[in-house]
Amino acid sequence: MRLIKKIIILCCLFMISCELHEPLFDNSLDLESAAEKGIFPPALVFHPSRVETTVGGTVGVNVYAMKLEKIGMAQIEVNYDSNKLSVKSVTQGSLFEGGNSPFFIFEDDASNGVLTIYITYLGPGGNSVSGTGDIALISFNARSMGQTEFSINQESIILDPDAKSIPLNGYGKGMIDAQ
């Protein structure tokens, strides 16, 4: 009987073994995966780009600068579906740190579903930052069930310390799945 039990367990193992991981490799900061989606540095992306929550739950999504050089100021516009999401809070990220205290404000047009984030080092010839890092952390509140997209608007502006525009090659998109 013990042998039969072992055989039955082994048979069960065979069935379990059919389950295989199928990773999406959708880390928005993965340069390879981003390139597959048509996003090349310098770019602004969300991290993580896919988040799951429950209706009424709050999730945080970082706005990341991907391989940007000498940024002095950023005006980032985020479009979202105001019927399904609401902005609960926006806090400054870790990229703009050091030197003069950076100026950070945001403006949420909930009726149109547009969140605008401003961040800059004060004064001409101010500091600049380079590389990849989080500019802001947006906390969204899921208002209804289902998947909803949010994206960085192409009207977003990145300037160097001399107020010269830095062209961007990619604008990230994100998704919240509220169960």
Do 168 and 43 touch, CB atoms closer than 8 A? yes
CA distances from 127 to 65, 101, 122 (A): 16, 10, 8
Is residue 10 involved in binding other proteins (CB under 8 A)? yes
Stretch that binds other proteins, among 10-18, 108-116, 139-147, 151-159 (CB under 8 A): 10-18
Count the Cβ atoms, other than its own, within 10 Å of residue 5.
Answer: 9
Query: In the window 126-165, what residues touch other proteins (CB under 8 A)?
Result: 132-134
Burial of 154 (0-12, 13-18, 19+ CB in 10 A): exposed
Stretch that binds other proteins, among 24-32, 69-77, 102-110, 142-150 (CB under 8 A): 24-32
Query: In the window 83-122, what residues touch other proteins (CB under 8 A)?
Result: none
Taking CB under 8 A as the criterion, the residue among 39, 44, 63, 64 binding other proteins is 64
Looking at the Cβ atoms of 20 and 124, the one nearer to other proteins is: 20
